[in-house]
Amino acid sequence: MRFCEGTEMDEARLADELNELVKQFGGAADPTSKRLEVLAKKAEVNQKELQASVDCLRESLDYLRVCIKYLLLDIEATRRENDYLQKLLKDKDREE
């Protein structure tokens, strides 16, 4: 901000200089702005934490799906093996 000696400042330039000062100090005197800024930062942090939790939950659900598919395959193989062994026992009993 420059003031030349012996010259008058017009209203527009004065308003511009005042606006520049307000921007530089960033509304430090306005507690509402500060609270809104703090709340906005907290909201951003909370949103990031929520997104991380959702991502973790998705990964866990994907892993659970894979485990369930594996268990279903294992149960089916166990049933087939059980049926085969029961057939062998019945055949052995018939031979005796």
- On whether the CB atoms of residues 1 and 25 are closer than 8 A, the answer is no
Token output for 10: 């017009």
pTM of the model: 0.52
Q: Tell me, what's the pLDDT at 5? A: 46
- On whether the CB atoms of residues 10 and 4 are closer than 8 A, the answer is no
pLDDT tens digits, 18-44: 777 666 666 555 677 788 878 888 898
Please give the Cα distance from 34 to 47 (Å, whole number): 20
- On whether the CB atoms of residues 36 and 42 are closer than 8 A, the answer is no
Alpha helices in 7-30, H assignment, sequence order: 11-25
Grade residue 88 by pLDDT with cuts at 50, 70 and 90.
very high
